[in-house]
Amino acid sequence: MQFSLLIKEEAPAALVYISKLTPFYEEGEELNLVKYTLGQKMFTPDDISDPNLQLNDRPYAGYLYFGASVLSQIYHSDSFTYGNQFEITLGVVGPAALGEQTQTGVHKMIDSPLPQGWEHQLKNEPAFGLNYTRFWRYIQPTVFGMEFGYNPEWH
């Protein structure tokens, strides 16, 4: 689950400074946006009914994070746009990420089997991420006022 807020405002100076250190980052002339993200991800083994440590499967893990991005539209026309995004993410992995509470609560709400192995989840650790994305957006009109498009990305 992830919530993002995309706004047209001046990006925080530290974020702009770090983004400009990225070798491929280009600041657009027309449109520059800031995106703030709050998210939580959960990872479990395939069999959540087994309360034992499952050595040959994915461990239980919660990941709670906050991200800040600066997005720049470098070029825009009616049928083609390209730009880039630089993102910094800070978070935590482990019990502090509240994965067990979230998954158990949702499973109770939807009357689904409760996960049994969260006591084997990864320990608390800080998480830090940097991400750069270059994107291209191709849009072509089709019939009845509809458009067809594709958006390749390079990370």
Percent of the chain with pLDDT over 90: 61
pLDDT at 149 over 90: no
Percent of the chain with pLDDT over 70: 100
Amino acid residing at 51? P
**pLDDT, tens only, 30-71:** 778 899 999 999 999 999 999 999 999 999 999 999 999 999
Q: What is the pLDDT of residue 32?
A: 84
Rounded to whole angstroms, how far apart are CA atoms 42 and 103?
8
pTM: 0.82
pLDDT at 104 over 80: yes
pLDDT at 20 over 80: yes
Rounded to whole angstroms, how far apart are CA atoms 38 and 68?
9
Tell me the pLDDT band of 29, cut-offs 50, 70 and 90. confident
Q: What is the mean pLDDT of residues 4-27?
A: 88
- Map out the domains of the chain with their CATH numbers: 2-154 (2.40.128.140)
Rounded to whole angstroms, how far apart are CA atoms 100 and 94?
9
Q: What is the pLDDT of residue 67?
A: 97
Q: Which residue has the tokens 């250190």?
A: 21
For residue 102, give the H/E element and its range.
Answer: helix 99-109
Q: What is the pLDDT of residue 109?
A: 96
136: which 2 tokens? 């291209």
Tell me the pLDDT band of 142, cut-offs 50, 70 and 90. confident
Average pLDDT, the chain: 91
